[in-house]
Chain A
Amino acid sequence: MLKDITLGQFFPGTSPIHRMDPRTKLILTIVYIVALFLANNWFSYLLMMVFLVSCIKISGIPPKSIVRGMKPLVFILIFTAVLNLFYSEGGVVLVRIGSLAITTAGLKRAFFMIWRILMLISGTFLLTYTTSPISLTDGLETLMNPLKKIRVPVHELAMMMSIALRMIPTLIEETDKIMNAQKARGADFESGSIIDRAKALVPILVPLFISAFRRADELATAMECRCYQGGEGRTKMKLLRFSRVDIQAFLVCACLVAGVITLASFGL
């Protein structure tokens, strides 16, 4: 039952976007977000939209699953739209409710806002859909390497992140087992008041915490047995290398930013 939850939304694949270096993808996602905020009119928005749609097309990710990922955001979208709708000035007044007015400017702003947020989120989804969590942390680690100069424990942070990601499925399985064992003793998680249900969690959480600590302890021992001593002098099995796809991607994105800036500054 719990096993059905999908975690990390990684879709394995072999598209050019999948093959890109995680560092490229991380940097370009940031570039994409910046470009998105530079866009300020119909044409620049359309250019961004064309770019996004072609990226999704190239990646081979079913558009359905991107749309599905948006569902939890419906509330935020509506909230933003309503705020922008009522609190923008200028333009022709369309409807007036007391002191609140909906103007054409407000309508336009709300529309662009929603559009921007949707593009922002689908763009970042594309990153997590096409990059496995492990290579993502790997990329983050390499990108943050300069921070080591100011004593930020970059390697340790990345290692902690990989271990955490690695442990999620294990803990889910464990939770499932413990729940079944307590259910076999007549525990009831589905009925009763909120307080009853919260209390019913104790028989799951206590064993779960204990097993998480036990696993952490065992893992630490196992790592020490293999002489793990942090990032110092440690080499990688999979070296990150920029390839042709990455250079092409950088060029495309450079063109995209240039295009958006041009379109935005001409105020078309």
Chain B
Amino acid sequence: MEPILQVKDLNYVYSAGTPFEHRALENVNFTLNRGEFVGIIGHTGSGKSTLMQQLNGLLKPTSGQVFLDGVDIWTDKKTTRQARFRVGLVFQYPEYQLFEETVYKDIAFGPQNMGLSQEEIHRRVLEAAGFVGITQRQLQASPFDLSGGQKRRVAIAGVIAMEPEVLILDEPTAGLDPIGRAEILGNIESYRKAKNATIMMVSHSMEDVARMTDRLLVLYGSHLAMDAPPAQVFARAQELVDMGLNIPQVTQIFLCLRELGLDVENVYTREQAVSLLRRMKEERVHA
């Protein structure tokens, strides 16, 4: 696996030197690889949002470094600006940042700031709109006439249009209905597949991260507490609960079954659960 983003001994202190001093991140180390889908989970105030903003140079680390393709993003002004384009950041409730007259123009804002040619901007806007399922007709509409879920998708397209190699999303499905959630997660996955992009997603839905991600980072009290595949992370259920986090509901059920004396392995997604139950049923029929 080819590493793309490396975080080394990252520390961040808010309002250093004042009575309001607050250590938001302490000695955080990890590496993101190309094409990986990584989830971040952590209790409110554990430093998730702060960490996200370090990765594309919106916040400067108090100490430690962030390397993009081996180059420190704070080397000079140019590398920092490049990092903003190469590491796309989608904030929470991104629909509140829409401002243009038409959806097309809003999606084109990022590529325009990159200084691309008109044809290239046009191509990227259409492609980004395609990824999130925005139709030709909607491109010419005002973003303020769209529904909440559509606005969210336009805002995500605005970041995707910059074709970032790393796409970071802060709770992209917050406040959406189940269909809207599934659609957005599908959109993200299709972007990852098409561009071999790295995705980093903050989420409070353990079901979503269990199903989507290859690896999970767990933040607790400004430290990186765990960095492992979901299966290993959710196997430490009690620790997660102590950190104020949860495990997927289906995992809870299977843990209960095991406590009741049933010999089942750990399960993290609904699909796994279904196939496991089928297998057990068949075994019983044959026995």
- Check if B114 sits within 8 Å of A186, measured CB to CB: yes
**CB-contacts of B81-107 with A (<8 A):** 81, 84-85, 88-89, 91, 94, 96-99
Shortest 4 CB-CB contacts between residues of A and residues of B? A186-B113, A206-B99, A184-B89, A185-B110
Given contacts A207-B97, A211-B96, could you give 7 more A-B pairs where the C-beta distance is less than 8 Å?
A177-B91, A178-B96, A185-B84, A185-B162, A187-B109, A188-B113, A203-B99
Question: Which residues of chain A have a CB within 8 Å of any CB of chain B?
Answer: 4, 177-178, 180-188, 202-203, 206-207, 210-211
Interface of A is mostly: helix
Measured between beta carbons, the chain A residues less than 8 angstroms from B91 are: 177, 180-181, 184
* A1 to chain B: closest residue by CB: B59
| Contacts A/B (CB < 8 Å), 14 sampled | A177-B91, A180-B58, A181-B97, A182-B97, A183-B58, A184-B58, A184-B89, A184-B159, A185-B158, A186-B84, A186-B110, A186-B113, A202-B99, A210-B144
- Check if B97 sits within 8 Å of A187, measured CB to CB: no
- Check if A185 sits within 8 Å of B109, measured CB to CB: yes
* A184 to chain B: closest residue by CB: B89
Of A180, A187, A188, the residue contacting B53 (CB under 8 A) is A180
- Bound-complex Cα distance A184 to B156 (A): 12
Measured between beta carbons, the chain B residues less than 8 angstroms from A182 are: 97, 109
Measured between beta carbons, the chain B residues less than 8 angstroms from A185 are: 84, 109-110, 113, 158-159, 162
| A178, A186, A188, A211 interface centre (most CB from chain B within 10 Å) | A186
Interface of B is mostly: helix
- Check if A181 sits within 8 Å of B113, measured CB to CB: no
* B18 to chain A: closest residue by CB: A4
Measured between beta carbons, the chain A residues less than 8 angstroms from B144 are: 210
Per-position binary interface string of chain B over residues 252-272, scored 1 when its CB falls under 8 Å from any chain A CB and 0 otherwise: 000000000000000000000
Interface status of B246 (Cβ within 8 A of chain A)? no
* A178 to chain B: closest residue by CB: B97
**CB-contacts of B4-43 with A (<8 A):** 15
- Bound-complex Cα distance A24 to B81 (A): 55
- Check if A186 sits within 8 Å of B85, measured CB to CB: yes
- Check if B58 sits within 8 Å of A203, measured CB to CB: no
Measured between beta carbons, the chain A residues less than 8 angstroms from B110 are: 185-186
* A190 to chain B: closest residue by CB: B77
Per-position binary interface string of chain B over residues 60-97, scored 1 when its CB falls under 8 Å from any chain A CB and 0 otherwise: 00000000000000000000010011001101001011
- Give min CB distance, B112 to chain A, whole Å: 8
* A214 to chain B: closest residue by CB: B96
Measured between beta carbons, the chain B residues less than 8 angstroms from A184 are: 56, 58, 84, 88-89, 91, 159
**CB-contacts of B146-167 with A (<8 A):** 158-159, 162
Measured between beta carbons, the chain B residues less than 8 angstroms from A210 are: 96, 144
* B56 to chain A: closest residue by CB: A184
- Give min CB distance, A120 to chain B, whole Å: 31
**Contacts known (A183-B58, A184-B159); A207 close to B113, Cβ less than 8 A:** no
Measured between beta carbons, the chain A residues less than 8 angstroms from B159 are: 184-185
- Bound-complex Cα distance A210 to B91 (A): 18
